[in-house]
Amino acid sequence: MKAYFTIFLIALTTLGFSQKKDLNPITWSFDTNQVGPDEYELIFKADFDSPWVVYSKDNSDDGPVPTTINFTSKNVETIGEAVETGKKVKKEDSLFGMSVIKFEGGQSFVTKQRVRINDISIPVTGYVRFMTCDNQVCLPPKNEDFSFTYKVNAPKRMQQGKNSIPVKSF
C-alpha cells in the first residue's frame, strides 16, 4: 500500500510541475538605452517557443487581447508609438475565427518605446498586458510588471597618447 501511495505522489507532483510550466510559456526581460539627455528607449522582450503565440498591439479589441505597455508612474512621457519586431504574421486564427496579427514562437518578440523621463531618480514602473495561445487553448490575459531605473551615460573621453592627434568637433 505504501508503494502505491508513493507512486501516486510522484505522479501527482510530476503532473503539477508539467501543468505549471505550461501555464507560463512566456518569459519577459526588460532593458533600456539612453538616446538623449532625458530620453530613453525602453525595450520589452518576450521569449517563447512554438506553438505559443503572442498577439500584436495592432489587433482590434474584438479578438485576442492585444499586447499593451501600461505605465503606472507619473514621471514618464511617451514619444511616438511603440514599435514591434519579431516573427510577425497576419493570418486567419481558428481559435478566434478571424484574421489576427500575432508573433509566432521560436523567435523573440520585442517592443521598443521611446520615452522622456521627467525625474530619473524615480523608477519608471508599469506592466505589459498580453495574451498567449497555442494551437488548442488560450491562457487568460496576464500582466507582467516592470521597473526601469536610469543612469545618465557619462561622456566618453578620448585617451591622449604621445602620438595622438586632437579631434575637432564640427
What digits encode the pLDDT tens for the residues 14-67?
Answer: 344 345 455 789 999 999 999 999 999 999 999 999 899 999 999 988 899 999
Residue 104 burial (CB count, 10 A): 17
Burial 2-37 (b: 16+ CB within 10 A, else e): eeeeeeeeeeeeeeeeeeeeeeebbebeeebeeeee
- The 3-state DSSP composition of the chain as helix, strand, coil percent (nearest 5) reads 10, 45, 45
Whether residue 116 is predicted with pLDDT greater than 60 in this model: the reply is yes
Q: Which tens digit of pLDDT belongs to each residue from 136-158? A: 999 999 999 999 987 665 444 33
Q: Which of 61, 44, 64, 37 is nearest to 132 (CA)?
A: 64
The pLDDT > 70 percentage for the chain reads 75
CA angle 5, 6, 11 (to 5 degrees): 95
What is the distance between the alpha carbons of residues 14 and 127, in angstroms, rounded to a whole number? 31
Given a contact cutoff of 8 angstroms between Cβ atoms, the answer to whether 38 and 116 are in contact is yes
With a CB cutoff of 8 Å and minimum separation 6, the contacts of 58 are 66, 84, 101
Q: Does domain 26-148 have CATH number 2.60.40.1250?
A: yes
pTM exceeds 0.95: no
According to the model, what pLDDT value does residue 151 have? Answer: 66
Alpha carbon separation from 137 to 12, 94, 154, 168 (Å, rounded): 22, 11, 48, 61
